[in-house]
Each structure stands twice: as structure tokens, then as C-alpha cells.
């Protein structure tokens, strides 16, 4: 079988489970390291002709990360496109099994069992109210109904924007967004927040710098995501 992935986390899931199955991935697909497949553009602007030329049996995509017109163009070219939807952890586990087992015809991987067991054993690391920026210039934060928000909630982090009407609302200012919060959670993707770029915008509020891959990817990283994120939350400064 030949598979093209338009989603970094699904790229890692397929490549780790069945090396050699994947023939194409986006420029943003950085894991596993050393992945040697054809690159077909970005998640938001894949080269449809390049994907088609790879003659994949299956293209895997996500309703949030990829644009409907691109997926329609791939279908119009005669390709089978499997589109995932992931808004919380249980759905992520179901969708991973759908992609790997039903879509790719693989046996359920051990890492998926390990990830489910790891999260089943999770107990909140604390109790914080937090704002979770995902972009700067303009400032955007996690709102309602997000996978990352669900992971944080399971670790004891209450997203103060979880009840917002939008999933990724813009906020007027960082200072106002964090008012009354115990913590600001700063992932290193999609915006690359770092110790020198982000915490200074939230004076007086402890900042937890976290791995974006462990917070937003659904794949093999889920097996150790709870431990990695818990460590970052406990060392917030």
C-alpha cells in the first residue's frame, strides 16, 4: 500500500507503525527524524499534482489542518482521501485506530495501547486556571472544543477561554487575556514561543513552556505526552 499524509502527527503515526508504507508527506512533517519520503508542500497548500503523481492508495488528512478545496481536488483526481476529526483524547484514539487499522490495513500498534494506558493512569498534576496562547501578532488563544485543551484539562489545567464561542479566538492583549490566571501555557508550535519570546508579555504570571508536539499531536508522542507536559507544568516560572 502507498500512503500520503497531509498531517504531521499522522505522518509520524504511520511511519512508526509501518516503515515504508508512507511515500509522501508535507514539509512540516518533522517526525520521525530522518523520514525519507517525497515532500508535497504544506498542510494548507499541498501540491495536488505532486500528490497525484505518487499514485497513493490512500491520502490521510484532517478537517482542521487541511483545506476542503485541496481535499476536493484530490478526490476529483481519483484519490481516496480519509479525513480525521480530533477534538478530544478519546476521539484521537478512535481516529488513530481508524487510520492505521481500517485505513491502512495494519495491526493495532503497541504504542497506541501504551498511550491509552498512560493517559488512563493520569491524575491531575495540580489545579490551575490558565490562558493558552497559540499565536502572536495577533494574539490568539485556545478556545472551546480543542484537543490540546482536553489534554490540559486532564492534567489539572482549566482553560479560561474554554467557554468561548470560537475555537481559537483573538484577544485584545496578552495582559488582559491572562488577568486572574494562575498560569500561562506557551507551546512551541504553531507559534514558536520560547523563554525569550512570550513570557515577557505576561508580567507577574508564571509561564509553562511546553512541547507543542506533545500538546497538539495525536500519534506516538501520546505515549509520553502526559509525563512531558506534567513536568513542564510543575516547573513553570
Residues of the chain with pLDDT under 70: none
State how far the alpha carbon of 101 is from the alpha carbons of 92, 138, 214, in Å.
14, 40, 23
Q: Determine the pLDDT at residue 126.
A: 81
Q: Determine the pLDDT at residue 108.
A: 96
Q: Determine the pLDDT at residue 122.
A: 94
Q: Determine the pLDDT at residue 125.
A: 77
Domains, the chain, with CATH or none? 3-108 (3.40.50.1980), 125-234 (3.40.50.1980)
Can you give the chain as a three-state secondary structure string? CCEEECCHHHHHHHHHHCCCCEEEECCCCCCCCCCCCEECECCCCECHHHHHHCCCCEEEEECCCCCHHHHHHHHHCCCCEEEECCCCHHHHHHHHHHHHHHHCCCCCCHHHHHHHHHHHCCCCCCCEEEECEEECCCCEECCCCCHHHHHHHHCCEEECCCCCCCCCCECCCHHHHCCCCCEEEEECCCCCCECCECHHHCCCCCEEEECHHHHHCCCCCHHHHHHHHHHHHHCCC
Distance of CA 124 to the CA centre of its chain: 21
Q: Determine the pLDDT at residue 236.
A: 86
pLDDT tens-digit readout, 59-96: 999 999 999 999 999 999 999 999 999 999 999 999 99
Assess contact for 206 and 195: CB atoms under 8 A.
Answer: no
Residues 77 and 139: their CA atoms lie apart, in Å, by 38
Residues 223 and 112: their CA atoms lie apart, in Å, by 7
Residues 41 and 114: their CA atoms lie apart, in Å, by 32
- The overall longest dimension of the chain from CA atoms, in Å, is 55
pTM of the model: 0.92
Amino acid at each position: 500500500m502507498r500512503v500520503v499524509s497531509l498531517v504531521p502527527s499522522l505522518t509520524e503515526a504511520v511511519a512508526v507503525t509501518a516503515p515504508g508504507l508512507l511515500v509522501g508527506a508535507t514539509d512540516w512533517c518533522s517526525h520521525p527524524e530522518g523520514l525519507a519520503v517525497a515532500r508535497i508542500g504544506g498542510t494548507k497548500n499541498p501540491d495536488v499534482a505532486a500528490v497525484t503523481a505518487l499514485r497513493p492508495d490512500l491520502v490521510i488528512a484532517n478537517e482542521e489542518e487541511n483545506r476542503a478545496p485541496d481535499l476536493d481536488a484530490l478526490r476529483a483526481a481519483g484519490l481516496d482521501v480519509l479525513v480525521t476529526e480530533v477534538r478530544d483524547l478519546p476521539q484521537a484514539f478512535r481516529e488513530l485506530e481508524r487510520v492505521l487499522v481500517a485505513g491502512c490495513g495494519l495491526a493495532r500498534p503497541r504504542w497506541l495501547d501504551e498511550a491509552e494506558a498512560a493517559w488512563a493512569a493520569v491524575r491531575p498534576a495540580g489545579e490551575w486556571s490558565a490562558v493558552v496562547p497559540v499565536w502572536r501578532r495577533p494574539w490568539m488563544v485556545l478556545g472551546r472544543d480543542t484537543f490540546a485543551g482536553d489534554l490540559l484539562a486532564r492534567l489539572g489545567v482549566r482553560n479560561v477561554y474554554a467557554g468561548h464561542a470560537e475555537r481559537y479566538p483573538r484577544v485584545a492583549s496578552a495582559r488582559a487575556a491572562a488577568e486572574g490566571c494562575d498560569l500561562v501555557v506557551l507551546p512551541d508550535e504553531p507559534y514558536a514561543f520560547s523563554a525569550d519570546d512570550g513570557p515577557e508579555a505576561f508580567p507577574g504570571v508564571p509561564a509553562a513552556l511546553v512541547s507543542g508536539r506533545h500538546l497538539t499531536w495525536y500519534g506516538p508522542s501520546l505515549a509520553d505526552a502526559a509525563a512531558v507536559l506534567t513536568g513542564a507544568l510543575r516547573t513553570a516560572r
